[in-house]
Structure 1
């Protein structure tokens, strides 16, 4: 158990890891930026110093070198570098190299306008150097130009950039650590807000009331709303189960009581006629209980109004309804009822469930077979009215008094005075299945004086929507 707990993912760990990894990457990026910036600054300072050295050498050539030579002391200062060797050169346009390293010669075209110092990169003996050159008039020959150049290695520049980087890394690391510590404290404090919610849920026993949005952090709202939706589905499911149990107890009480009475009759009597009559009643009550239980299950399924993916599909009622009605013709013939169909030849598409539609049509036909009467006419009618599709089942039986029309579709409601046995669930099942399909159920008198017409009006789907 402990191993399972340690192996479980921690939200705190994931949050801190999510923050720490970018912070470390930010430290590396900041170090790179710091080094590039320090190198840029070092280059700028050293370039300025190179220009100053070239100007100093030019001044010295103009004032302190009457023979055009550079003193040994000045040469030492110009070339001195603790780690590597710097260079200088003085070239004459007329006489060539006057002093310094012959390899350090400014490239052609370097001086385009004026006599300002120019900076450039050069390779000498496989060493990269940065050089500054300036032009001046030869003080001993006014017709001649001198090109004075001073170059240094890049070692000092890079060393200074690294030193700046090394000085900044501890401060940056400390700053990142402080930021991580603040994030850790923030995450820890933020996760504590889940405590009251956890306590609230833990203290519930059978309470499925919504958690609500009050005092719930915005980041947790999607989770609590999902839990509220789950609670709602559980409440509906429990209510459905409780209703089923209550309905079953209500409907099966009478058949079970009758079974007990007729079983006692058969047990107490030795008369074969009495025993046969009791067994006949027992058989009828068993059939009634069986039908009632089946209808209760069908009603429970129909009361599930939640649509899941794949529950419905495009159905062509012009093909489906004649097929389903044709399966009941033999029962209609046995009941001496003329069952027919009237509908268009073109397609009538709805979005529905085949099994639920079959259950609905079977209950409508059962209702007609049970109450229309011997020799009655019953017709299944399918038609289209604008954007709606109407499925109707009508008969010319005794019908329903206008006072009771509005109550059709209620659970366990049976028209007073009806001689036929029934559970009062058939039209209730039709009502629930119609609601599942987003359809409306309407009841009318089929004729002027008699009969009943039940209409289910479905929303049609367009051909383009069916093909998507």
Structure 2
């Protein structure tokens, strides 16, 4: 099968989920690297700034400040090829002796303390400064405060240089990792090749994939496929069973039809023989039609494709009398007293109306066929602690206790039964009941007769409220 351009790809999906986080990590790593480099640059420059303050203080302590700083000292202090340096020398007695800028300064430290570093600003420009105090040799009673400051330009430039050295190396490392990931994903996906080859080698075999060589990560997928295979096998088996049942059940009436047609053709001079043959043909045709309808009904009831999710809430107290009303004329023709006995309040279950109608039709039809003329047939409905009980009871000849367990088997009919039938009615009832989570039971009625009961689970209160 050709792979289209826009068809989803597991490899592309894995790489996309890896590539985006790796890109974000590269950005975060660059920010972290710049922060670390700036911290390192600040530490180095702070140490140099403190040394400059100490050097200037030592120079001023042994020098003479009557005429201020010499031009040479001022040049050395102000010279900075990477930015600009600022200084300030103040005397406790004489005030400002020399400076090249006025920037904010904290209170001076005590004499003999190490240089104190602080952040300040010159207008809108931030500065980093160091201040130290000392007693000059020329006047030990006086206190000089020496401050040295510099801009932050060089610090940031050094941090950028470190970043520019680190990022290419980290990028190469990440590219190498991505290549390894690509190779790893490609190698890891090869574990699916034996499974793909094994499935491709199958022709008409629909068996479970199994778990022998299936990776743990795709076990849910293979189990889902196995479930699909099981449902497909069930559908195919149902189809094969239907074909076999149809062939088995239709063989006799079709042979009878052929026989009576040949009989009518062979004796076409006798109207009575032709009429008799046509009567048999009509009877066999009806039997064939009923058998076909019963087979189709059984197939629908057994179908694994009938989704219980499509069921809705049904009020049996309304449905059952409606179905009984449709069979009154047929019951009168059969000489059977058909009646209903049930509560007047709603009795809700969850199910499919058409299937429930077919279930009840088969129960009534079974009673009408086998109860016999002059008998009574009662359809009852009642709420019991276990759910909703639907039953059909007759006072006909009944069924021996030894044969009760066989009721519901496909094509099973009581020995010696003269009535025509397919033996599928109760089988259909049991399949439909199973679809609705119901249970079918059979019991003899004293002194004679049969009761077929279907116990449905009652619908939940929430489902009834939505109905």
User: When the two structures are superposed, what TM-score results if normalisation uses the length of structure 1?
Assistant: 0.93
Q: CA deviation at 1:229?
A: 1.0
Is the Cα contact below 8 Å between 1:348 and 1:389 reproduced in 2? Answer: yes
Give unmatched runs, 5+ long, in structure 1.
none
Structure 1: 4+ residue segments shifted above 6 A: none
Q: CA deviation at 1:76?
A: 2.2
The one of 121, 124, 128 equivalent to 2:122 is 124
Is the Cα contact below 8 Å between 1:88 and 1:104 reproduced in 2? Answer: no
CA distance in 2, matches of 1:280, 1:98: 140
CA distance in 1, matches of 2:305, 2:110: 84
Q: 1:462 to 1:220 in 2, by over 3 A?
A: closer
Is the Cα contact below 8 Å between 1:104 and 1:149 reproduced in 2? Answer: no
Match runs of 1:53-132 below 5 Å? 53-65=52-64, 67=66, 69-107=68-106, 115-124=113-122, 126-132=124-130
Q: 1:140 to 1:64 in 2, by over 3 A?
A: closer
CA distance in 2, matches of 1:277, 1:440: 45
Is the Cα contact below 8 Å between 1:352 and 1:437 reproduced in 2? Answer: yes
Give the structure 2 partner of residue 454 of structure 1: 452
Residue by residue over 1:86-143, the C-alpha shift from the partner in whole angstroms, topping out at 9 and shown as x without a partner, is: 1111123443311122413414x57699955333333336543211223344655566
The one of 177, 193, 196 equivalent to 1:195 is 193
Q: Secondary structure at the match of 2:413?
A: coil
1:302 aligned to 2:301?
yes
CA distance in 2, matches of 1:139, 1:232: 103
Q: CA deviation at 1:221?
A: 1.1
Is the Cα contact below 8 Å between 2:359 and 2:432 reproduced in 1? Answer: yes
Q: CA deviation at 1:44?
A: 1.6
Q: CA deviation at 1:257?
A: 0.3
CA distance in 2, matches of 1:42, 1:336: 110
Give the structure 2 partner of residue 157 of structure 1: 155
CA distance in 2, matches of 1:123, 1:266: 124
1:225 aligned to 2:216?
no
Give the structure 1 partner of residue 249 of structure 2: 251
Residue by residue over 1:401-436, the C-alpha shift from the partner in whole angstroms, topping out at 9 and shown as x without a partner, is: 222211110000110111111010001100111111
Q: CA deviation at 1:65?
A: 3.5
Give unmatched runs, 5+ long, in structure 2.
none
Residue by residue over 1:370-408, the C-alpha shift from the partner in whole angstroms, topping out at 9 and shown as x without a partner, is: 111112111111122212221100011111222221111
Residue by residue over 1:332-387, the C-alpha shift from the partner in whole angstroms, topping out at 9 and shown as x without a partner, is: 12222111111122332222211111110000000011111112111111122212
Stretch of structure 1 that moved more, 380-389 or 265-274: 380-389
Q: CA deviation at 1:320?
A: 2.3
Give the structure 1 partner of residue 211 of structure 2: 213
Q: Secondary structure at the match of 2:244?
A: helix
Q: CA deviation at 1:225?
A: 1.1
Is the Cα contact below 8 Å between 1:305 and 1:435 reproduced in 2? Answer: no
Q: CA RMSD in A?
A: 2.3
Stretch of structure 1 that moved more, 280-289 or 328-337: 328-337
Is the Cα contact below 8 Å between 1:305 and 1:436 reproduced in 2? Answer: no
Q: How many residues align?
A: 465
CA distance in 2, matches of 1:421, 1:198: 54
Q: 1:112 to 1:139 in 2, by over 3 A?
A: closer
Q: Secondary structure at the match of 1:406?
A: helix
Q: 1:30 to 1:309 in 2, by over 3 A?
A: farther
Give the structure 1 partner of residue 273 of structure 2: 274
Give the structure 1 partner of residue 48 of structure 2: 49
CA distance in 2, matches of 1:110, 1:257: 124
1:37 aligned to 2:39?
no
Q: 1:334 to 1:49 in 2, by over 3 A?
A: same
